[in-house]
Amino acid sequence: MDQRCSQVPFQPYIEQLDLHELPSIQLVPGAVVFVVGPNNGGKSTFLNEIFARLSPTSGTKWISRVQWGLGTEEDYRGFVSRSLKPTVDGQYLRDSTGNTMQPHAVYGFYTSQVMHGGGLFLVRLLNAQSRITLADRVQAPDVVSKNEQHPYHRFFYSAESEADFSTKIRTAFNKDFRINRTGSQTIGHLGVSPKGDRLSVEYEEGILTKMQPVDTFGDGVRSYTGILLNSSADRQPVTVIDEPEAFLHPPQARRLGREIAAATKDGSQQVFVATHSSDFIQGALAAKNPNTFFLYLDHANKDRPLFSIDRAVVEEFSKKPFLAHTNALDALFYDQAIICEGEADIMFFKWALEGTSIGRRLEESFWISAYGKEAIPGILEDMQKLGIKARCVFDLDVLLTPHVLRRVGAAIGVDLSQYNSLLDQLAKAIKVPPAAESLEKISGIISQMADDEPSRVEAVRDIKRSADALGKSWVLKSSGVAALPKGDLNARVRAFLAFMRHHGVVILEEGEIENYVPEVGGHGQAWVRAALDRGSVPSPAKKSLQDQFKSLT
């Protein structure tokens, strides 16, 4: 369905991608399509096939056919007349970057949707090299014919377009952008722009003497400028960009993602992007383009090599602070996500499993801290909507929060209703130490508290730990399954833990991470640092961890 802004002249767009032995992908004008997935998943191949399918070809891996939305014949001819200009001899048509093609091939594309020896006026490929060279100096335009053979030529004729582009460059690099209007070459310059009349001799001298040519900057500046030129000054109907974040710092990648997604909102351009940068994706989501798609590719996954993520889901994610302002979206580029209760758990698990066969098999996993067990089910659901295989790790006291387990079960497709009676029986069977013991300890802490801020902070922490001892949660976390009565209940709980591991949910049998190195005191990240300083995890504890985490590999 055509959703372009009514004020924008017609541009062709890709209406549908037909795939080999997979469902077709429906697209709309102005779509931003992120092609994501693990390394060697087939992302670059997919992008290259979009262009390859303009010509008669065979042997493609993903795309069997590209179906174009070309509008009416009048729409298409209007687009051609705006985008391509006849050469002097009239035998060819030339696009904005100087590529020539035969008129009969261009106009014949309307009925055949096959381009013999051309197609660059429809699809632009921006790889690492081409986007850098796009910002290089070019031959000055012919002011008589006013033919534009490069995006810089647009600025030559339109000071307004140049000023708009300069604003976008300044946001990224804190430098103005200007082109020179004299000489045999047109050159993009960065720096502090001169003052005064834009067409004066003094202004031109200021550009040439006070500003620095873009092609003398590093690859990051040139790459950013080239990509922005494509989306701002010379929009092809379809642009394909492979890893636009290359050479860029994270803040620049985020800005570039936002600029590209915002530029397509009027429906004049579609962009396909293969990326490994969550910063770039977060920037694009911040633009709130309603036509944002994700394609998750992993050709090694025979059961689901491609997963298309619905636009409504992407729009929902753009409103979620956890996904928008953390690195959780980095999971898109790994084999799986492992969601833990806290950062301390992740630090410990990675360290304890380092160098083991299980640790090596988990190297392509992305670890996410949920900052508490209650948040894990929601993150698990979000990861699955993105097509990411996700696993969970809980402390043992999650057995006392059946609503969390039920929600996890629903997300992974497991009915836990058969275990309701077990969880109810478990909560009743846990014995809590006498309250007097904990209250006496709290009283002692208060009486010994010094009158300074650090002492008060530490005392509050000690009091909280002592108060926690009054609850069943503390019993499970401090003692693990050993706190359970021996016999049938104990065996049934262990069987339940094994069942959950089989479905990708690890519930620590030892209770919590601090019990794996009990010789070290403390809690949380301070405990992890102290455990790391100790140098090693005891062999029985390491073996237990490997046995439990084996299910996540």
548-552 contacts at long range (C-beta below 8 A, 24 or more positions apart): 548/501, 548/506, 548/508, 548/509, 549/349, 549/353, 549/358, 549/362, 549/506, 550/358, 551/501, 551/502, 551/504, 551/506, 552/336, 552/338, 552/362, 552/365, 552/391, 552/504, 552/506
Specify whether 339 is located in the same domain as 405: yes
Last residue of a domain, one of 86, 118, 150: 118
Specify whether 258 is located in the same domain as 320: yes
- Residue 456: how many CB atoms within 10 A of its CB? 12
Tell me the two tokens of residue 12: 């062709």
pLDDT at 366: 95
Specify whether 261 is located in the same domain as 344: no
- The helix or strand, by DSSP H or E, that contains position 178, with its residue range, turns out to be strand 176-179
- CA-based nearest residue to 158, from 178, 174, 144, 137: 178
Specify whether 395 is located in the same domain as 524: yes
- The helix or strand, by DSSP H or E, that contains position 18, with its residue range, turns out to be strand 13-19
Reduced to 3 states (helix: H, G, I; strand: E, B; else coil), residue 455 is: helix
Separation of alpha carbons 411 and 391, rounded Å:
11
Is 235 exposed, middle or buried, given 0-12, 13-18 or 19+ CB atoms closer than 10 A? buried
Residue 131 lies in a domain: no
Last residue of a domain, one of 273, 304, 327: 327
Question: Per the structure, how many domains does the chain have?
Answer: 3
Taking each helix axis from N to C end, the angle separating 278-286 and 250-263, rounded to the nearest 10 degrees, works out to 40
Residue 90 lies in a domain: yes
Specify whether 411 is located in the same domain as 547: yes
CATH number, domain containing residue 298: 3.40.50
- Residue 136: how many CB atoms within 10 A of its CB? 17
Encode the chain (553 residues) as per-residue pLDDT tens digits.
455 555 678 999 999 999 998 999 999 999 999 999 888 889 999 999 998 887 776 678 899 999 999 999 999 999 999 888 888 888 998 887 778 888 988 999 999 888 765 667 899 889 889 999 999 999 998 887 777 778 899 898 889 999 999 999 999 999 999 999 999 999 999 999 999 898 899 999 999 999 999 999 999 999 999 999 988 877 789 999 999 999 999 999 999 999 999 999 988 899 999 999 989 988 888 888 888 888 989 888 888 888 888 777 777 777 777 777 778 888 988 889 999 999 999 999 999 999 999 999 999 999 999 999 999 999 999 998 888 899 999 999 999 999 999 999 999 999 999 999 998 888 888 876 655 555 566 666 667 777 777 766 676 666 665 555 457 788 888 889 988 888 899 999 999 999 999 999 999 999 999 999 988 888 888 899 999 888 888 899 899 999 999 999 9
Specify whether 321 is located in the same domain as 341: no
Specify whether 56 is located in the same domain as 81: no
pLDDT at 469: 43
Domain range for 39: 14-63+236-327
- Residue 224: how many CB atoms within 10 A of its CB? 29
Specify whether 30 is located in the same domain as 77: no
Residue 2 lies in a domain: no
- The helix or strand, by DSSP H or E, that contains position 189, with its residue range, turns out to be strand 188-191
| Backbone Cα Rg of the chain | 30
Q: Give per-residue burial for 480-508: e unless 16+ CB within 10 Å, then b.
A: bbebbeeeeebebbeebbeebbeebbbbb
- The helix or strand, by DSSP H or E, that contains position 65, with its residue range, turns out to be strand 63-69
Residue 445 lies in a domain: no
Specify whether 481 is located in the same domain as 547: yes
Residue 305 lies in a domain: yes
Specify whether 387 is located in the same domain as 283: no
Specify whether 506 is located in the same domain as 540: yes
Last residue of a domain, one of 295, 327, 359: 327
Q: CA 183 from chain center: how many Å?
A: 44
Residue 528 lies in a domain: yes
Residue 141 lies in a domain: no
- The backbone region for 163, taken as left when phi is positive above 0, alpha when psi lies in -120 to 50, beta otherwise, is alpha
pLDDT at 496: 96
Helix extents (H) in 61-193: 73-83, 103-112, 128-133, 151-157, 159-173
- Per DSSP bridges, beta strands 176-179 and 188-191 are antiparallel
Specify whether 242 is located in the same domain as 312: yes
Reduced to 3 states (helix: H, G, I; strand: E, B; else coil), residue 126 is: strand
Residues ≥6 apart with Cβ < 8 Å to 188? 135, 137, 152, 177, 178, 179, 213, 214, 215, 225
pLDDT at 1: 47
Residue 182 lies in a domain: no
